[in-house]
A and B are shown apart, each in its own frame.
Chain A
Amino acid sequence: MRAIKFLLQKEFRQIFRNRSILAMILVMPVMQLIILPLAANYEVKNINLSVVDHDHSSYSQKMITKIISSGYFRLTGYNRSYGEAFHLIESDEADVILEIPDGFERNLIREDEQKLLVAVNAINGVKANLGGAYLASIIRDYNQEIRIDFLQNNRFNVIPTIDVTSSNWFNPNLNYQVYMVPGILAVLVTMIGGFLTALNIVKEKEAGTIEQINVTPIRKHHFILGKLIPFWVLGNIVFTIGLLVAWLIYGIIPVGSLALLYGFVSIYLLAVLGLGLLVSTFCETQQQAMFIMFFFMMIFILLGGLFTAIDSMPEWAQVVTRFNPVSYLITVMRMVILKGSTFQDVAPHLGIIALFAIGLNGWAIVNYKKAS
C-alpha cells in the first residue's frame, strides 16, 4: 500500500505542474456551462415565412398578422405566385411557404371550409417540423377565433371544442437551461475523467517511463489505483465547479440531496475512469487513445439523451443506450437536481453503474500487462 502513496504524490505533482491540464480542469467546465446551455435550445424562433396571398381579403390579412405577431415567424417574402415563393426556399431565404388561395374569405364564410397550403423546407428537420406545427396551431387558433365571431352573429351552431391546458411539472417555465445544465455537466464530467485517464497512461507509454515502472516489482492493482485516484478526485472537483456554476449563473439548486448526487457521481467516475484505463491498455500512442475515446464519446453523448429523448429513439438505439453509462448519469442528474428523486428512485441506475465500474476496471487490470 505504501507504493500507492508514492504513486499519488508523483501523479499530483505532475498534474499541478502541467498548466494546460489545470486550465482544462478549471476553465473548460465553466466556459462550456456558460455558453452551451444558452445556445443549446430546442425552441425554434426566426422561422422565415413566405406568404403567397391570392385572396387579399381582410380575413387573410388578419391571419397573416396573427402569424407574424406570434414572434416565431419572420416574414421574408410576400409573393404573387407559389413558384416565386419556391425560389426563396431554393435559395434558403424561406423555411415555410403559406399559400392562401383565391376566395379564402368567401369560402370560409359561405361554405364553412377552406384549405390552405403549407410547404416546408425539410433540409433543417427540426425547424421544418416545429415550424409546420407552430403554423398549424396558430391557424387552428385563428380558425377558432373567427368561429367565435360567427357565433356571436348566431350564424352557426355551437360546436363543442376540447381545449387542452397543460402544466409543466419540475420545470414550470419550460426553461431549456434548467433542462440542459445538468445534462451538460454530466457530459463534462465524463469527458474530463475519461480523456485524462486514457491519455495519461498512454503518455507514459510514449515517454517510455511506463517501462521503468514495469521493471519494478510494483503490483498491477497498485499502479492502476495510483492512476485512478487522482483523476477521481479531479472529476469530483470538476463536478463541484459545475454545480457552483449552475447555482451562480442559472440559479439551479438541486432539489434532491447533494450527498446522493456526489455518491452517484463517485461511482460513476469509477466507471468512466475504468473505460479510460481500458482504452489506454489497448493503445500505444496518444493519437490512438484520442480517436478511440472520441468514438465512444460521440456515441455516448448523441445516444445519451442529452439532445434527443431516449424514449423517441428507435428500438435498437434504445438498446444501445442501456450500455451507455452517460445516459444513466444524465437521467440521474435530471432526476435528483430537478425532481428531487431519492435513493430508492436512483438505486437501479446506481446498481448498473456499479456493474460498469467493476467490469471496466476489472478488464483494465487483466489487460494491463507488465510484460509483452
Chain B
Amino acid sequence: MKEAVIKTENLTKRFGDFIATNALTLEVYTGEIFGFLGANGAGKTTAMRMLCGLSIPSSGNATIAGYDVYRETERIKKNIGYMSQKFSLYEDLTVLENIRFFGGIYGLSDDEIARKSDALITQLGLQNEAKKLVSGLPLGWKQKLSFSVAVLHQPKIVFLDEPTGGVDPVTRRQFWNLIYDAAEKGVTVFVTTHYMDEAEYCNRVSIMVDGKIEALDTPHNLKKKFNAFSMDEVFYQLARGAQRAE
C-alpha cells in the first residue's frame, strides 16, 4: 500500500484576478521522486511555495506529511526541506558556517551538527573549500551545497525548485546522484525542472500548463499516451498551447 505524503485537492492561489495555480489535485507517495514540470510562468513555484507553507492558498486543501497547509505550517516545516530557485544560503558565511547555522536552526545537537558537517563535506568533496566563503564557490557546488543543507535535518520531503538551472551536465549528473541517495534513504523528492532528460529520471511526473495540471503519470506511460519517443515531445505537445509566458 502506497502512502501519500503530499495530498492536494483543488489547491488554488489567486493574486487578484490572476489565478497562478488553478485547482491543483495530486498525490505524491513516500520515497517517490516526483517531477513537477511546466513552462515558465505555469505556476510551479507558486504551487511549491504553498506546499512548503511559504504561501497561503486561496482555496482548496492540502496535507503535507499529514499536516494541514493552513493550520499546521510550522509542523510541516519541521518535516520538509526546501531549495529555492534562487541560491539562498549566506554568501558571506563559509560552507561550514552555513551547515552549522541551518543545522542549529532545525534544532540538531552540536554533536549531530559536527558529525553531519563532516559527512556532508566528504560526500560533496568540499574538504578544501569548507572554510571558504560560499560566495567564492562555483554555481554547481553552491547548488549541491544547498541541496545538502535542505536534507540536513532528514526531512520526510524535500522540495527542489529548478535545482539544476544553469549547471553543467557533469554537475547535473552528480546532483541527481545526490537526489537518488536521498530517495534511497526514504526521502520523498518533489522537483521542478526544465530538463527533459531529468524528467526521465523521475518515478512520476506531472505537466502543468497555465496553472493547471494537464498530465500526470510515469514517464513511460506518458510517452505511450502521447505517442512520443521522448519526454521532450510530450512536453512540447502539451506546453505549446500555453497562453502564459514570463
Query: What is the interface of chain A, defined by CB distance below 8 A to chain B?
Result: 2-3, 5-7, 9-10, 13-14, 17-18, 207-209, 211-218, 370-372
The answer to whether A215 and B90 have CB atoms under 8 Å apart is: no
Nearest Cβ distance between residue A148 and chain B, in whole angstroms?
A: 76
The answer to whether B77 and A215 have CB atoms under 8 Å apart is: yes
Taking CB atoms, residues of chain B closer than 8 Å to A215 are 52-54, 77, 80, 82
The answer to whether B92 and A9 have CB atoms under 8 Å apart is: no
Nearest Cβ distance between residue B96 and chain A, in whole angstroms?
A: 11
Taking CB atoms, residues of chain B closer than 8 Å to A207 are 88, 91
B1 CB–A CB distance under 8 Å: no
Taking CB atoms, residues of chain A closer than 8 Å to B107 are 2-3, 217
Taking CB atoms, residues of chain B closer than 8 Å to A17 are 92
What band does the interface of chain B fall in when counting residues whose beta carbon is under 8 Å from A? 20 to 34
Closest chain B residue to A18, Cβ basis: B92
B217 CB–A CB distance under 8 Å: no
Given contacts A3-B104, A3-B107, A211-B54, contact A217 B92 (CB under 8 A): no
Taking CB atoms, residues of chain B closer than 8 Å to A3 are 104-105, 107
Closest chain A residue to B53, Cβ basis: A371
The answer to whether B93 and A2 have CB atoms under 8 Å apart is: no
Q: How far is the CA of A130 from the CA of B78 in the complex (A)?
A: 68
A10, A209, A217, A371: which contacts B54 (Cβ < 8 A)?
A: A371
B53, B88, B100: which contacts A208 (Cβ < 8 A)?
A: B88
Q: How far is the CA of A14 from the CA of B93 in the complex (A)?
A: 7
Nearest Cβ distance between residue B158 and chain A, in whole angstroms?
A: 11
- Beta-carbon contacts under 8 Å, B43-85 to A: 52-56, 73-75, 77-78, 80, 82, 84
The answer to whether B88 and A212 have CB atoms under 8 Å apart is: yes
The answer to whether B53 and A6 have CB atoms under 8 Å apart is: no
Q: How far is the CA of A2 from the CA of B110 in the complex (A)?
A: 10
Interface centre among B75, B93, B105, B106 (most CB of A within 10 A): B105
The answer to whether A209 and B56 have CB atoms under 8 Å apart is: no
What are 14 contact pairs spanning A and B, CB under 8 A? A2-B104, A3-B104, A6-B100, A13-B97, A14-B90, A14-B93, A209-B88, A211-B54, A211-B88, A217-B75, A217-B77, A370-B54, A370-B73, A371-B53
Given contacts A6-B101, A371-B73, contact A208 B87 (CB under 8 A): yes
The 10 closest A-B pairs by CB, nearest first: A6-B104, A208-B88, A215-B82, A217-B77, A212-B88, A208-B86, A217-B78, A10-B101, A216-B105, A209-B88
- How would you classify the secondary structure of chain A's contact residues: helix, strand, loop or mixed? helix
Taking CB atoms, residues of chain B closer than 8 Å to A371 are 53-56, 73
The answer to whether A6 and B105 have CB atoms under 8 Å apart is: yes
B180 CB–A CB distance under 8 Å: no
Query: What is the interface of chain B, defined by CB distance below 8 A to chain A?
Result: 52-56, 73-75, 77-78, 80, 82, 84, 86-93, 97, 100-102, 104-107
B84, B86, B97: which contacts A10 (Cβ < 8 A)?
A: B97
Q: How far is the CA of A3 from the CA of B89 in the complex (A)?
A: 17
Given contacts A3-B105, A6-B104, A10-B101, contact A209 B89 (CB under 8 A): yes
Q: How far is the CA of A213 from the CA of B97 in the complex (A)?
A: 15
Taking CB atoms, residues of chain B closer than 8 Å to A218 are 105
Taking CB atoms, residues of chain B closer than 8 Å to A214 are 54
Taking CB atoms, residues of chain A closer than 8 Å to B106 are 216-217
Nearest Cβ distance between residue A49 and chain B, in whole angstroms?
A: 59
Taking CB atoms, residues of chain A closer than 8 Å to B86 are 208
Nearest Cβ distance between residue A171 and chain B, in whole angstroms?
A: 46
The answer to whether A13 and B77 have CB atoms under 8 Å apart is: no
Nearest Cβ distance between residue A133 and chain B, in whole angstroms?
A: 57
Nearest Cβ distance between residue B131 and chain A, in whole angstroms?
A: 13
The answer to whether B56 and A212 have CB atoms under 8 Å apart is: no
The answer to whether A213 and B56 have CB atoms under 8 Å apart is: no
Q: How far is the CA of A209 from the CA of B101 in the complex (A)?
A: 12
The answer to whether A10 and B73 have CB atoms under 8 Å apart is: no
Nearest Cβ distance between residue A12 and chain B, in whole angstroms?
A: 11
B53, B75, B82, B93: which contacts A212 (Cβ < 8 A)?
A: B82
The answer to whether B105 and A213 have CB atoms under 8 Å apart is: yes
Q: How far is the CA of A211 from the CA of B80 in the complex (A)?
A: 14
The answer to whether A216 and B77 have CB atoms under 8 Å apart is: yes
Taking CB atoms, residues of chain A closer than 8 Å to B54 are 211, 214-215, 370-372
Q: How far is the CA of A122 from the CA of B104 in the complex (A)?
A: 65
Q: How far is the CA of A10 from the CA of B101 in the complex (A)?
A: 7
Taking CB atoms, residues of chain A closer than 8 Å to B91 are 207
Q: How far is the CA of A216 from the CA of B56 in the complex (A)?
A: 16
Q: How far is the CA of A2 from the CA of B144 in the complex (A)?
A: 27
Q: How far is the CA of A215 from the CA of B56 in the complex (A)?
A: 13
Q: How far is the CA of A244 from the CA of B178 in the complex (A)?
A: 56
The answer to whether A208 and B84 have CB atoms under 8 Å apart is: yes
B56, B80, B104: which contacts A372 (Cβ < 8 A)?
A: B56
Interface centre among B54, B56, B91, B100 (most CB of A within 10 A): B54
Q: How far is the CA of A269 from the CA of B215 in the complex (A)?
A: 56
Taking CB atoms, residues of chain A closer than 8 Å to B93 are 10, 13-14
Q: How far is the CA of A209 from the CA of B105 in the complex (A)?
A: 13
The answer to whether B56 and A5 have CB atoms under 8 Å apart is: no
Taking CB atoms, residues of chain A closer than 8 Å to B100 are 6
Q: How far is the CA of A212 from the CA of B100 in the complex (A)?
A: 14
Nearest Cβ distance between residue A48 and chain B, in whole angstroms?
A: 55
Taking CB atoms, residues of chain B closer than 8 Å to A211 are 54, 82, 84, 88
Interface centre among A6, A14, A207 (most CB of B within 10 A): A6
